[in-house]
Amino acid sequence: MVSIMAYDWDIIKTEYIQGFVDKNGNLKLPTLKELSQRHACSYSRTKQKSASGNWIHQRKLFGEIREEKIHEKKLAVLVSEATQFASKSLKAATMGIDEGLERLEDKNLSTHDYMKISMAISNYQKIGLLALGEPTERVKNDNKHDMIGDPMNVLNDPEYITEKRKMMDDYYDKRRKK
């Protein structure tokens, strides 16, 4: 009498489609031949079961879903880290601006120091805007609409230069009156 072995085809199918963790802790995606050897069953019978159950297609779909889930988890980590970084940047920008504004209150501040502190505040503002996802520079194009562009273009805009000179003159006038 010939003994017929019963194989757990559900486990064999699952190991083919999803893979299994080997003794080193690595995910192993076995071939049908490797599965036949692992479960001591005939390769031809494993191949038949695979073909009739469409295991190859199921393995491909499972792999795509696994990769999508891995991508989603990596993306979630990156988004979390980016959010934390932006939050720290915004906090640093706020602290820098506050410190700069406090220093500008000094009535004995030299023009040179005033300009350096003003430039530092401007840089902190750019950091804050970037942390908020906002553009850091806006210039006017020929049609006089705001647009993002090369920050050096503002130096060629006479209206911009006149406006900034007036702001500086007003500031110095106020300081002289104090």
What is the length of the chain?
178
What pLDDT does residue 128 have?
87
Q: What is the DSSP string of the chain?
A: -PPPPP--HHHHHHHHHH-EE-TTS-EE---HHHHHHHTT--HHHHHHHHHHHTHHHHHHHHHHHHHHHHHHHHHHHHHHHHHHHHHHHHHHHHHHHHHHHHHHT-TT--HHHHHHHHHHHHHHHHHHHHHTT--S--EE-TTS-EE---GGGGGG-HHHHHHHHHHHHHHHHHHHH-
Q: Which range, 2-6, 101-105, 170-174, is most confident? A: 101-105
- Give pLDDT tens digits for 62-114: 999 999 999 999 999 999 998 899 899 989 999 999 999 999 888 888 889 98
The span from the CA of 153 to the CA of 143, in Å, is 14
Domain extent listing, the chain? 9-69, 84-177
What pLDDT does residue 29 have?
95
